[in-house]
Structure 1
Amino acid sequence: MPLPLRTAHTADLDPAELRAVRSLLDEAFDGDFGDEDWDHSLGGMHALVRDGAGPAAHGSVVMRRIRHRGRWLRTGYVEAVAVRADVRRTGLGGQVMAALEGIVDRAYDLGALSASADGAPLYTARGWQQWSGRVCALSPDGIVHLPEEEGGVHLRPARTGRPLDPDHELVFDWRDGDIA
């Protein structure tokens, strides 16, 4: 039987819940989850599964803008997906992703995320498509190419009515830290 999942906006999570989620993320990413990563995961909707030991799985979706073929798309960007080590491979990651995908499908033109090599199989199995085109960002100095992000960006098919064409770049909005 699946554990209960709660969705809530960042503003509806109390400070103790936020500290517990941050601890889960620090542990799940083996200390490679920095303050900028944490900041990127805030300000949107969270999907959180708890058990008797605390947060067992988490993910969030925040609003970003991605330009493709001259049009800026409202993008639900998935951040901070993690499952506690002792409950991995029990379906909690899929449970969190299903909740986040529902939010993306109802509220955004497009879903996007940046996947690690370890995380990519979860996303591709759920229908997320690896972006094969060029990845850029609109920086304070203009559009810059981000070759280090290419291959890791995954998209959830757009509701825009026209498919995204990998012959045309994706241009991400700017933010501190990792752009995609």
Structure 2
Amino acid sequence: MTLRLAHTAALGPADLRHVRALLDGAFGGDFSDEDWEHGLGGVHALVHDGAGLAAHGAVVMRRVRHRGRWLRTGYVEAVAVRADVRRTGLGGRVTAALERVIDRAYDLGALCASDEGAPLYTARGWQRWPGRVHALSPDGIVRLPDEEGGVYLRPALAGPPDPAGELVFDWRDGDVV
């Protein structure tokens, strides 16, 4: 198996079709066009085996305000492993590659994990954010109580955020966090 890191701009149309097909299959049709957009414009980790694309994840730049400072945040998106090779360590391999990008280029790493995905991240040292989560919306700052408890952070260049503070994510269409 080979792992490749590439920016979205370096991926051709066929690469992008394969990634989208993997994500659609892995999420059982619950991967929207907005979810797809969220995973573009950053660095992708792609694992290929003899059958094709086996695993994928991306890290994209977001801004998160904490304690009055906007942090350059590497946000993990679109992590998926093909069904026939799940539970073989490929999710960890993809995540490790994305963590190296985050650790070298961002103030903070962040992601929103499902209950099924959370053990992968916590085993790798990601910490569940215990505080409040907000977004800077077109109408101002709005609290996102449904996202609280599902946000995980990886302190990078800025060090660990203060749990007494809040996180304010930049706005994006679809799911904000």
Q: TM-score, normalised by structure 2?
A: 0.98
Q: Distance in 2 between matches of 1:49 and 1:115?
A: 21
Aligned to 2:15: 17
Matched, 1:165 2:167: no
Of residues 95, 114, 135 in structure 2, which corresponds to 1:97?
Answer: 95
How far does the alpha carbon of each residue in 1:61-114 deviate from its partner, in whole angstroms, 9 at most, with x for none? 000000000000000000000000100011100100010000000100000000
2:162 maps to 1:179? no
1:12-44 Cα deviation digits (max 9, x unpaired)? 000001001100000000111000000000000
1:123 and 2:107 are equivalent in the alignment: no
Moved beyond 6 Å, runs of 4+: none
**Matched-pair identity in %:** 78
Contact 1:158/1:164, CA 8 A, preserved across alignment = no
Distance 1:123 1:160 in 2: 19
Structure 1 CA distance, aligned partners of 2:122 and 2:69? 26
Decide which moves more: 50-59 or 99-108.
Answer: 50-59
In the alignment, what sits opposite 1:41? 39
Residue 4 of structure 2 corresponds to which residue in structure 1? 6
Q: Distance in 2 between matches of 1:25 and 1:54?
A: 14
Deviations 1:100-158 (A, max 9, x none): 00000010000000000000000000000000000000001110000010011000013
Q: Secondary structure at the match of 1:16?
A: helix
TM-score, normalised relative to structure 1: 0.97
- Alpha-carbon RMSD: 0.7
Instruction: Give 3-state SS (helix, strand or coil) of 1:73's partner.
Output: strand
Structure 2 counterpart of 1:91, which letter?
Answer: G
Q: How many residues align?
A: 177
- Map residues 26-105 of structure 1 onto 2, 5 A cutoff: 26-105=24-103
Whole-Å Cα distance in 1 between the matches of residues 150 and 7 of structure 2? 26
Do the aligned partners of 1:7 and 1:48 also contact (CA within 8 Å) in 2?
yes
* Distance in 1 (alpha carbons) for counterparts of 2:157 and 2:97: 18
Q: Which amino acid is the alignment partner of residue 109 of structure 2?
A: G
